[in-house]
């Protein structure tokens, strides 16, 4: 009895270098954007003033100007008390201590 494996089957015949089925190529169209209008034809008046471009947005109407402004809440004191600050500092020190201990443990295990 032999422990050798039989030889692998021969590869299928290839039609070319890239014989594996491939997804069809996607054809990308050019991005559609705003097409600027052609420049105006030159006029006979060389020194004539150029007219201003048309307004891009409609002017504000009286109905939109009369809407009331939202009510803003009065200023609330956002100071932090001494107890809350001490608790936050204590939590920060505890979390940093945990990170340092875990890093040291990993470093010691990787060296040993």
Q: How far apart are CA 105 and CA 111, in angstroms?
A: 10
Q: Return all residues near 58 (Cβ < 8 A) that are at least 6 apart.
A: none
24 Cα distance to chain centroid: 29
Residue 16 placed within a domain? no
pLDDT at position 111: 62
Q: What does the pLDDT profile of the chain (112 residues) look like in tens digits? A: 567 788 888 876 666 655 566 777 777 776 667 777 777 776 666 666 777 777 666 555 555 556 677 777 677 777 888 999 999 999 999 999 999 999 998 888 766 5
pLDDT at position 15: 61
Residue 93 placed within a domain? yes
| Domain range for 104 | 82-112
Residue bearing tokens 């201590």? 97
Provide the number of structural domains found in the chain.
1
Residue 112 placed within a domain? yes
Residue 104 placed within a domain? yes
């Amino acid at each position: 009895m032999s422990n050798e494996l039989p030889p692998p089957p021969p590869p299928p015949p290839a039609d070319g270098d890239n014989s594996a089925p491939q997804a069809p190529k996607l054809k990308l169209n050019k991005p559609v954007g705003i097409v600027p209008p052609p420049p105006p034809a030159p006029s006979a008046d060389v020194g004539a003033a150029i007219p201003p471009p048309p307004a891009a947005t409609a002017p504000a109407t009286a109905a939109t100007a009369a809407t009331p402004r939202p009510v803003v809440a009065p200023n609330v004191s956002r100071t932090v008390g001494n107890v809350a600050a001490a608790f936050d500092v204590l939590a920060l020190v505890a979390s940093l201590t945990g990170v340092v201990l875990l890093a040291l443990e990993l470093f010691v295990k990787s060296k040993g």
